[in-house]
Structure 1
């Protein structure tokens, strides 16, 4: 009987993997690092066994610009915090040259020091004032743990570690055939319906990480109402 039960679980696990992989391919996403199947709880284990900082440093191919920003602002210890939700910005969020991506470098050009009235597209976060980069990164760290198991199906505001009085992030769980977490989907945001590339990665200290390929902008006071 035990052998039959284990066979059924293995079969279900195989089917689940096939569905997940097919979904990733259809969405055009890179496949995330696989996790072990936990037969006790009947789902894939999302434990990274790393702090957020350790996880970021383990994926320099994806987070080289985020690492640069963290080092530049001295926020390393902030990415080892407990009871947080880290919205990790991949390189695309910063340096994509695709016009529709509206990457951070595209939307935050700097005056050209050699040509009056002209602007340049930065290639490094260190070209911006350190406080600007610090606030950007802190805005993408949400207080408390928010993931598939506790996010509502309606847009809800959550506090971040940035200091501005409008430093809140809007999150909710989109429940459709391609369920995902949606971020800052409010009227007036520079980009609509931003979804995570990868969600629900758990750090060794119980925080959660969601990987984004687009940066998020703060709301105004009117948009918070």
Structure 2
């Protein structure tokens, strides 16, 4: 929804383009955030169910032209300040649609709203403070994961090191927001890039931690 984008642009200190959200369909003429209440719509020949809001991740901070990440994490940081879902903490922009049938839709087609329902409740997400991480001299470490041992280092984010070794860890945002990559630290020490990356229950967000010593990890 272009009106929702304009509202975000007015709030965000950085430049924001629609392309950063990589949409398939863009709507004009609706009020900002009106799409939150849509449940069934028709575009051209096709009826769509609006199944859920589209939760956003770190890729919104990457310029589609330059391929570079915004240094302040925008526009995700601004979205998080007012579009964090109160029920599960997702940061939403846009909607996910499922077509009920095949058909033709064209640029310029009108969007007909067939049914609506109250939208999700949003507010400000928790402020994520960055941790001061002391730069360590580069050294090799070993990382034990589910009985497998890999050679790692104390310079690179843990999630990236696991992926490079062919180990798949669930993730969504890669920004320390969603919590999908939380794993158990059985033994060893890590440096946290965000204060919330190390839990009181012995778990860590592997997208936001760098090994300090050799590690033993469990899913």
Both structures adopt the same fold (TM-score exceeding 0.5): no
Q: Which has the higher contact order (CA 8 A, sep 6+)?
A: 1
TM-score (ref. length: structure 1): 0.22
Q: Which structure: greater helix fraction?
A: 1
- Find the structure with the greater CA-based Rg: 2
TM-score w.r.t. the length of structure 2 is 0.22
* Larger strand fraction of residues: 2
